[in-house]
A and B are shown apart, each in its own frame.
Chain A
Amino acid sequence: MKLPVKMTINGQKVSHEVEPRLLLVHYIREVVGLTGTHVGCDTSQCGACTILIDGQAVKACTLFAVQADGVTITTIEGLAKNGELHPIQQGFWEKHGLQCGFCTPGMILAAYQMLERYPKPTEDQIRHQLEGNLCRCTGYHNIVKAIQWAAEHMAGKK
């Protein structure tokens, strides 16, 4: 049995017929073909699949594609606008907030929502808000610095 599903991803309307058990993350990666959203675990711990659904950071492994019918999604591929990096992306680059790059898309999108909630986050707030995202390369030091860099530059732009 397949069910129809429609959504808007990075400004593009997509619609497919999918198995009801297909996870949203697999829909995005395997059906839509956007492979920047990663799968790092089976238990919703790692956060590598974090995307924005209607502006909220969500782990895309925590819902089925059919549950996301009608929503608007931003994945890492949709964050830069007109070829210009988002300040969070720029911050990760400036501050060496990534090494292997696998957790990075999820980290950046988790940071996106964090900075909406806390435009001037303290170090403790950043660390606490990143509890749902695991990184094995950086020891988190430069991820904290990257988000601080982004917060400063986003404040400057407003």
Chain B
Amino acid sequence: MATVVQERLFGKAIKRREDPRFITGRGQYVDDVKLPGMTYAAFVRSPHAHARIRRIDTSGALKHPGVVAVFTGKDMAGVNSLPCGWDLRKEKNIPGVVQDLAMVPHMPLTADVARHVGDPVAVVIAESQAAAVDAVDRVKVDWEPLPSVTVTDRAARSGAPQIHTGAPGNVAFKWEIGDRSATDAAFKGAATTVKKRILNQRLVANAMEPRACIARFDTATGELTLWVTSQNPHVHRLLMCAFVLGIPEHKVRVIAPDVGGGFGSKIFLYNEEVVCSWVARQLKRPVRWTATRREAYLTDAHGRDHVTDAELALGRDGKILGLRVKTTANLGAYLSTFAPAIPTFLYGTLLNGVYTIGAIHCEVTGVFTNTTAVDAYRGAGRPEACYVLERIVEAGARALGMDVAELRKKNFIPKFSGAFQTLVAVSYDSGDYAAAFDRLLQMLNYRKFRAEQEAARKQGRLLGIGFSTYIEACSIAPSKLVGALGAGAGLYESAKVRVHPTGGVTVYTGSHSHGQGHETTFAQLVADELQIPIEQIEIVHGDTGAIPFGMGTYGSRSASVGGTAILMSLNKIKEKGKRIAAHLLEASANDIEYVNGQFQVKGVPSKAVPFGAVSLTAYVPHKYPDNLEPGLEETSFYDPSNFCFPFGAHACVVEVDRDTGAVQIQRYLAVDDVGKVINPMIVDGMVHGGIAQGVGQALCEGAVYDEGSGQLVTGSMMDYALPKADMLPLYETDRTVTPTPVNPMGIKGAGETGTIAATPTVVNAVIDALAPLGVDHIEAMPLTSERVWKAIQAAKAKR
């Protein structure tokens, strides 16, 4: 029998299989779903940052033509608070807890007090979107405005307005990690110490598709179907059913179809989807809600918002002796789904970076404010840690008068594989940090650049270079470990592989693609393992009615955790196939191997059964082993043994206009090590997008609240400055490959690296450019021309 050796697809930049529907306008996003009898929801939201609700009069809205119903928080009695899925309490033995997390309630429609601008207090349901929006203006809310606090480091001051009775002083929790006394001792023995206040401003994810949901209740079956913009449909279903609405999970189907970007903001369970699900059951009609962009700014979970005081202790030789970090993290008005984890276990645990450090201590205070809730945004905690470390390390080098590249090289953790125990709980998987940095310096021609910079400075030009050598924790995550740290969920992933009788394969994955290209990369894995044409493979995701219980996509986990689950199921398929083939070939299963798409007697390609014949036999089991079940379908759940730790080195060259403070990026270079790569084209694309978001934070983005009124000033795309094509360069990228020993494919994860690395890279470059003027630090981002100009003027005034 002639066999065809199929080209291995792992590592190949094959074009995406999902693209034809997107480039022809045939994608189906939630707002594209049309159902008969649809009604439309519009929310009445608080115009105040903090206000007591005296009374709500819905009569005017109810009289408005086309209005079907109006509901307030009082109507939703019996519906519970939105849950927070991460606990930080001493009685649960969560490490590092200094003050227990205040588990404050977060009702789908608040009935007593509104705690941020945009907090929903009522919903209007109408026959058309326009009627619903019109009638919102006819709901009369009698407000009693209260004083508000929005600023991170003012929330816990005495006299600040109290936001929750269950959180005295607006403190949500206090937490620490590391060794305080060892760190104090390290600072006593230091030759040089630097201390900087480092602000990491609030960001908005800005997925291009606004959040949306459609809830439909089937009176005949009692089943509720929820289409929702979700990165993790099973998490949505579990939280909504078990915690909020108290309805059985098996009667709820959650569908996350094509989703237009997430970046973390579509992980969480939100008020609107809970309210629409509840309303659909009341009215027995489908209900649709799609966020306006203004609503997205007001209600999508925000990211970052840290105020940090960081101190670094250095020896005369440039060795890092100690790091001390005190951070206040703004959690917003309520606890979003995973909020407490972000500024704690995804932040403090990354402060070791890629360096050998003598001692580390970090303490974090989480505070409530009258702002939109803060939770995971691309990188989630890790960009904040990287920013603190990479800024303070460069500040340390400047204080010592040492080259910033030289200081990094002196302190890199040497190459290792297997385990490097950090001072902040986590143990790294594998790393060769110097190799990535050396490659970057080579691409950059670093010495030549410094010579050019010197020449430019003599001409009065402000040319600068910045670096970051970053690490991140991804492939989230070992369930037992995160459970011990306070997670309310396991973080495994699932995959069901169904081989059809005629040899086609459908994979049902618990991961969810909202831009990541799983329909391509996962199919590459299957094609390789089964050695069948990729055209015979279909990847299904995003429908709890089809896929096994899965945890979804965030924390750069899909290829490493979701992909490994697929691999496990494929191995089971092959094992069962061997038993079927052995029976057909009258051989022992132990003597069968799977080669080039056929089951054959080891070393005897002529004694073989093709994959399709085995699959057909599995479903037409006439000639079949006695003790084997028919069918060829296997499900696996993979729970990783550790996080994976991608790393890399980024550099940016900027020129600053000394008269205007405008920053121009001239070059952006990235060397990332994300372990093994399934599809380099897709990984490069993720790196590009991540860099753009990181540059955005450095140069233009930021959510701004007006301090007196608590209004979100940057509540539209006119006011929140997203990066545009003309402020970014073509990125120069490369990779080193250090496989992780954690999973069998050696994949680490690539979704967040760019965002983590880029922000400090760009800020360090601007500081380097301004160094001749005497600027050694700028506290706050984004580095708009105004902020840079002010820094230049302040430095001039000091001279």
Is B a genuine binding partner of A? yes
Q: Closest approach, in angstroms, between the C-beta of B376 and any C-beta of chain A? A: 16
Q: Within the assembled complex, what's the spacing in Å between the Cα atoms of A128 and B691?
A: 19
- The interface size bin for chain B is 35 or more
**Beta-carbon nearest neighbor of B513 in chain A:** A100
Q: Which of A21, A85, A100, A141 contacts B207 (CB 8 A)?
A: A100
Tell yes or no: B645 within 8 A of A by CB: no
- A108 in contact with B23 (CB, 8 Å): yes
- A136 in contact with B23 (CB, 8 Å): no
- A140 in contact with B692 (CB, 8 Å): yes
Q: Which of B15, B24, B206 contacts A85 (CB 8 A)?
A: B24
Residues 14-30 (chain A) with a chain B CB within 8 angstroms: 19, 21-22, 26, 29-30
- A40 in contact with B517 (CB, 8 Å): no
- B210 in contact with A40 (CB, 8 Å): yes
A residues in contact with B23, CB < 8 Å = 76, 85, 89, 92-93, 98, 101, 104, 108
Residues 1-43 (chain B) with a chain A CB within 8 angstroms: 15-16, 18-29, 31-32, 34
**Beta-carbon nearest neighbor of A77 in chain B:** B25
Asked if A137 meets B689 with Cβ closer than 8 Å, knowing A40-B293, A100-B260, A127-B726, the reply is: yes
Q: Which of B19, B21, B207, B293 contacts A42 (CB 8 A)?
A: B293
Tell yes or no: A96 within 8 A of B by CB: yes
Identify which of A1-9, A31-39, A64-72 touches chain B.
A31-39
- A100 in contact with B685 (CB, 8 Å): no
Residues 178-214 (chain B) with a chain A CB within 8 angstroms: 205-210
Q: Which of A46, A48, A93, A141 contacts B16 (CB 8 A)?
A: A93
**Beta-carbon nearest neighbor of A86 in chain B:** B23
Q: Closest approach, in angstroms, between the C-beta of B422 and any C-beta of chain A? A: 30
Mask, A51-94, CB within 8 Å of B = 1, is: 00000000000000000000000011101100001000100111
Q: Closest approach, in angstroms, between the C-beta of A131 and any C-beta of chain B? A: 5
A residues in contact with B83, CB < 8 Å = none
- A126 in contact with B259 (CB, 8 Å): no
Identify which of B350-358, B404-412, B492-500, B716-724 touches chain A.
B716-724
- B725 in contact with A77 (CB, 8 Å): no
Q: Within the assembled complex, what's the spacing in Å between the Cα atoms of A8 and B330?
A: 52
Q: Within the assembled complex, what's the spacing in Å between the Cα atoms of A87 and B689?
A: 24
Tell yes or no: B258 within 8 A of A by CB: yes
What does DSSP make chain A's interface, helix, strand, loop or mixed? loop
Q: Which of A21, A96, A134 contacts B724 (CB 8 A)?
A: A134
Q: Closest approach, in angstroms, between the C-beta of A96 and any C-beta of chain B? A: 5
5 chain-A/chain-B pairs, Cβ below 8 angstroms: A35-B32, A96-B684, A136-B208, A139-B754, A144-B725
Q: Which residues of B contact A (CB under 8 A)?
A: 15-16, 18-29, 31-32, 34, 129-130, 205-210, 258-261, 263, 290, 292-294, 514-517, 681-682, 684-686, 688-693, 716-718, 722-726, 728, 730-731, 754
Q: Which residues of A contact B (CB under 8 A)?
A: 19, 21-22, 26, 29-30, 33-43, 45-46, 48, 75-77, 79-80, 85, 89, 92-94, 96, 98-105, 108, 123-124, 126-128, 130-131, 133-144
Taking A89-B23, A89-B24 as given, write out 16 further A-B residue pairs in contact, using a Cβ cutoff of 8 Å, ordered by the A residue number: A38-B208, A40-B208, A43-B718, A45-B718, A76-B24, A85-B23, A93-B16, A98-B19, A100-B207, A101-B258, A124-B726, A127-B726, A128-B725, A134-B208, A137-B208, A137-B685
